[in-house]
Amino acid sequence: RCAELAKYFRDKLVENNLPFEIVSESLSNAVTPLHPITQSAFKIFLKMKDEYGMWVCPNGGDMASTIFRVGHIGALTKDDNTKLVDVFKDLQKRGLI
């Protein structure tokens, strides 16, 4: 199930031409690490949390501004991933990513 959700999410990123790089050579089915290429990862995390009530997993320390992670385990669904991609698309439309 996690593998299916991870693939679905990653495919949606590519389909929608979103400005993120997946930054792992050996991807886990549990999480997708993303590097935003147009904005600080932490600023995106804050926008999503504060304006959309949606959370991704931010990094801390030296990588706080470069990477955040999207989880695929637990009670998540394809619909949750679609909503997340819709938030990314809205942020892109608003010029925030």
> What pLDDT score was predicted for residue 25?
82
Residue written as tokens 């991870």?
A: 6
Distance from C-alpha of 93 to C-alpha of 97, rounded to nearest angstrom:
8
User: In the predicted model, what is the mean pLDDT of the chain?
Assistant: 95
SS3 category, 56: coil
- Does 36 have pLDDT greater than 90? yes
* Cβ 69 vs Cβ 32: under 8 Å: yes
What per-residue confidence (pLDDT) applies to 76? 93
Tens of pLDDT, residues 2-28: 999 999 999 999 999 999 999 988 899
